Structure 1
Amino acid sequence: MSYPSVSLWFDQAAAAGDPLTPRPGLDGDLTVDVCIVGGGLTGLWTAYYLLRADPTLRVAVLEAEIAGFGASGRNGGWCSALFPVGVQAMARRHGLGPALDMRRAMNETVDEVGRVAAAEGIDCHFAKGGTIELARSAVQFERVRASVAADAARGGIDQYEMWDEDQTTARVRASGVVGAGFTASCARLQPALLVRGLADVVEGLGAQVLERTPALEILSRTPDNGTGGAGPRVRTARGTVYAQHVVRATEAWTSQLPGTRRAIAPIYSLMIATEPLPASFWSTVGLSRGETFTDARHLVIYGQRTADDRIAFGGRGAPYHFGSRIDPSFDRHPRVFAALRRTLTELFPALRDFGFTHSWGGPLGIARDWNASVGLDASSGIGWAGGYVGDGLSTTNLAGRTLTDLVLGHDTQLVHLPWVGHHSPAWEPEPLRWLGTNAGLTAMTAADTEERLTKRESVAARLMSPLLGH
């Protein structure tokens, strides 16, 4: 495989001198204290904090390709405080206090990622410029205003601001804007530089990062029964890893492992990037402080101005594939790429004069109730984290710190957050999973069309909201 073709981010990493050469893989059976399955940000953050807490630990990270090959090296570069379950929904399940604790933890996590990147010398272009949520219709404006008001009623934990048209255009000038919401709890970064740099740091701390070593099966601890039971283990084609604890950090690829095939649905999100844009473009458009941007439509879009003055822009719209299939051919979807180019050019019409150089995609993981989770099962010895619904660039860090406390038995505030130990219901069997998931995608697309035509809040979106963690 040509790893630079995975994403703009991998291409830039290669241009910066990363050879993207796979590290040696597993060579026979291995015994460690902690085996982490998945060399993305969840797995690497877990290894990092474990070894910072106890440098004597024997830690192995198994990766099917190379570090960051999955969503960690393909995402939109938003290190945000977003969590897939909203405060209101979480408060209904756990109470308002725990829900607000989760919000505080997510806000703090953005700064923690920046702190570690600086401390470890990982130049990932971290710039905490916040997120601008554009309102481009009266309906969108009211939706954003309601979200700002809800945050204010909760004490302003997210420091969510409402901007009028003049305040918005002072920071970014996009077509049709009537206002915006702004939150400071987001940083733009280059995700491949973060995950690849973190892999180097983890290896330097003593972890074995074993690449081109896909896990075939994660096996639970066997009972002792007086016969000397074995701990959990991971079977690969290159040997078996025995451990005291195994951490499953496989996100969308969780759906490919025996025993967890219906735990996560792999949903594709795709991205495009422009060529580097001249100063004349940016003097008109703005985004001079590292802001990320979106708008208040229902079908998610996300963008950033990169450190080399491109726009990297992505969104949903690619179909779910029957049987939770994951295949490299699904990373490219010409119809979705064309729609993304139209959408971005509609936002910034001056882009008609410039070209697009990169397009890519990949699967992200969604649990049935859209509730990301982290936990450690004492009986099996297996820990897990995932189901980030695309909000994983920062949530993976919180997961790594939480898993470290769980594995080491530390009773901290992190292990009492409401996502810890959460078990989502399994996705429906096929063909119901295929029908329902793609119907939801169609509904969100229809909701935006409905609002454009009726100038009122979408009925379709309101009906779908409880199914999306809101």
Structure 2
Amino acid sequence: MRGIPLTRDFANGGVSFWYRQIGLPARRPALPGSRDYDVVIVGGGYTGLWTAYYLKRAEPGLRIAILEKEFAGFGASGRNGGWLSAEFAGSRKRHAEARGRQAMIELQRAMFASVDEVIDVARAEGIDADVHKSGLIHVATNPAQRRRLRAEVADLRTWGYGEGDMRLLERAEQRERVQVAGALEAAYSPHCARIQPAKLAVGLAATVDRLGVDIYEDTTVTEILPRQGGGSGGRAAAVTTRGTVTADYVIRATEGFTASLTGQHRQWLPMNSSMIVTEPLPPDVWKHIGWQGSELLEDEAHAYIYAQRTADDRIAIGGRGVPYRFGSRTDRRGATQAQTVALLWRMLVKLFPAAVDVPVAHAWCGVLGVPRDWCSTVHLDHASGLGWAGGYVGSGVTTTNLAGRTLRDLVLRRDTPLTRLPWVGRQVRQWEPEPLRWMGVQLIYALFRAADRHENERGTRTSAYAHLANLISGR
């Protein structure tokens, strides 16, 4: 990583910077053998934790267990960019096809409300996650990006977004909020908050623990069985290396790690995203950058970046590195390749030239789940006793909360506005088998990178490479 300023104790992988900052939580005991519960949740990330939280709050007598391979919050929940955002993964038109345009508008409104719901629960439960609700800025740095940004804001008006939900910024306000080099246009939404994601995960796990949910860590689930498919006594089952756990309902909350389960290899594609974080920036550098409001920041590139100003005045910036590993394999070390660290650092310095001498302290990566149509989903089948939520495509910090409340209502057989949202029950075809899957993802991201190069050099409209990539990907 020649030419990149690194701290003397620079770390790459292992855990995210967020856990390096607060320390790893003490491991909870593993499953002591076969057990029976009312509800079993496979996966101890945000989805599983929120689902357990809302179920236990609604029905304190429910016997609930969470089965986690590593520790609660190990995966994307403790590795993400810290965006508590109302942005929802997937095509609005596709979701509207299920239950109508108004239903998609209601889904978006539910996402707006979910941002505040997370903040309210964190406050009520005493979870200090460095929450700061200051909104989100989208910035365009070339003419093609500016055209896309304007078109996106106009399109959102047709989906229920008012001026107060997303608006283009006047040039003076744009510069007052944050000085991004080369920015031609920017848009602002108030529906986003900065968080320290590991603090939220650890705090939520402790809360769920305190409510009486059994969290078993170091417990690998190998297979999930429906009632008709092998669960004893008409019960659904989660088969682990330490015993079989039966229940009325088994909820799969494994997101990017879903491919490791028997029979789920092509369900959701595990996509990697990488991050770096700097040392704290000195006051004289912040004078050049601004960013006093600590809004979240995203550009309009196809291989986009996302960033936050942390509570201790660092810049954390992320984007796609090596997007996919052959055979849906995932990297347990969480290390980021040297060329990806260099790419993210170049993007950081391109956006904020004043930060060129600020050392990079940590690099890491995480895995997220991508359905074949890139649309998130939540589902529960009462006949089989199986349910799931995920496919957040990188927009999961808030969506997991909405999923948890929706799964609560589905498990308790409640007919509510949440259970009527268009992402409920959505099922799509599986990803192609290898090597087609690997070849397709490599081609898609090669096209996105080519599109960004073309637009940065001379493009005034969205590159044809990007249109082709979107067509192949099914986005």
Please name the residue that 2:5 is paired with.
Answer: none
Tell me which amino acid in the other structure corresponds to 1:203: D
Q: Is the 8 A contact 1:173 1:284 kept in 2?
A: yes
> For the residues of structure 2 that align with 1:305 and 1:161, how far apart are their CA atoms?
22
Between the aligned residues of both structures, percent identity stands at 47
TM-superposed deviation, 1:90: 2.7
Q: Secondary structure at the match of 2:356?
A: helix
Change over 3 Å in CA distance of 1:228–1:144 after alignment to 2 = closer
Please name the residue that 1:428 is paired with.
Answer: 432
TM-superposed deviation, 1:462: 2.2
Please name the residue that 2:217 is paired with.
Answer: 211
Please name the residue that 1:43 is paired with.
Answer: 48
* Equivalent of residue 103 in structure 2, options 81, 98, 103: 98
TM-superposed deviation, 1:317: 3.0
Matched, 1:449 2:449: no
Please name the residue that 1:110 is paired with.
Answer: 115
> For the residues of structure 1 that align with 2:203 and 2:444, how far apart are their CA atoms?
37
TM-superposed deviation, 1:171: 0.2
Q: Is the 8 A contact 1:371 1:469 kept in 2?
A: no
Tell me which amino acid in the other structure corresponds to 1:402: T
Q: Is the 8 A contact 1:23 1:211 kept in 2?
A: yes
Q: Secondary structure at the match of 2:303?
A: coil
Please name the residue that 1:53 is paired with.
Answer: 58
Please name the residue that 1:24 is paired with.
Answer: 29
Please name the residue that 1:465 is paired with.
Answer: 470
Greater mean alpha carbon deviation, residues 334-343 or residues 322-331: 322-331
> For the residues of structure 2 that align with 1:349 and 1:318, how far apart are their CA atoms?
25
Q: Is the 8 A contact 1:164 1:178 kept in 2?
A: no
Q: Which runs of no fewer than 5 residues in structure 1 stay unpaired?
A: none
Q: Secondary structure at the match of 2:307?
A: strand
Please name the residue that 2:4 is paired with.
Answer: none
Tell me which amino acid in the other structure corresponds to 1:60: A
Residue by residue, what CA displacement relative to the aligned partner does 1:281-319 show, whole Å, maximum 9, x if unpaired? 222212222300011111121000000110011001313
1:21-420 alignment runs, 5 A limit: 21-157=26-162, 159-222=165-228, 229-329=233-333, 331-420=335-424
The TM-score with structure 2 as length reference comes to: 0.94
TM-superposed deviation, 1:320: 1.1
Residue by residue, what CA displacement relative to the aligned partner does 1:75-117 show, whole Å, maximum 9, x if unpaired? 0000101111132343345421111111111111111110100
Residue by residue, what CA displacement relative to the aligned partner does 1:157-213 show, whole Å, maximum 9, x if unpaired? 571110133221110001101220111111110000001100000000000011101
> For the residues of structure 1 that align with 2:131 and 2:472, how far apart are their CA atoms?
33
Tell me which amino acid in the other structure corresponds to 1:270: S
> For the residues of structure 2 that align with 1:83 and 1:223, how far apart are their CA atoms?
34
Tell me which amino acid in the other structure corresponds to 1:117: A
Residue by residue, what CA displacement relative to the aligned partner does 1:234-281 show, whole Å, maximum 9, x if unpaired? 111111111111100000110110111100111110000000112222
> For the residues of structure 1 that align with 2:21 and 2:34, how far apart are their CA atoms?
36
> For the residues of structure 2 that align with 1:455 and 1:445, how far apart are their CA atoms?
13
> For the residues of structure 1 that align with 2:159 and 2:226, how far apart are their CA atoms?
42
> For the residues of structure 2 that align with 1:153 and 1:217, how far apart are their CA atoms?
43
Q: Which runs of no fewer than 5 residues in structure 2 stay unpaired?
A: 1-10
> For the residues of structure 1 that align with 2:324 and 2:58, how far apart are their CA atoms?
40
Q: Is the 8 A contact 1:50 1:404 kept in 2?
A: yes
Q: Is the 8 A contact 2:298 2:306 kept in 1?
A: yes
Give runs of ≥4 in structure 1 deviating > 6 Å: none
> For the residues of structure 2 that align with 1:447 and 1:94, how far apart are their CA atoms?
34
Matched, 1:9 2:15: no
TM-superposed deviation, 1:6: 0.6
Q: Is the 8 A contact 1:44 1:202 kept in 2?
A: yes
Higher relative contact order (CA 8 A, sep 6+): 2
Q: Is the 8 A contact 1:222 1:229 kept in 2?
A: no
- Please, what is the CA RMSD of the aligned residues? 1.9
TM-superposed deviation, 1:463: 2.9
Residue by residue, what CA displacement relative to the aligned partner does 1:432-457 show, whole Å, maximum 9, x if unpaired? 00000111111111111121233222
TM-superposed deviation, 1:29: 1.1
Greater mean alpha carbon deviation, residues 156-165 or residues 358-367: 156-165
Q: Is the 8 A contact 1:252 1:364 kept in 2?
A: yes
Change over 3 Å in CA distance of 1:58–1:354 after alignment to 2 = same
> For the residues of structure 2 that align with 1:255 and 1:325, how far apart are their CA atoms?
8
Q: Secondary structure at the match of 2:56?
A: helix
Tell me which amino acid in the other structure corresponds to 2:358: F
Q: Is the 8 A contact 2:369 2:390 kept in 1?
A: yes
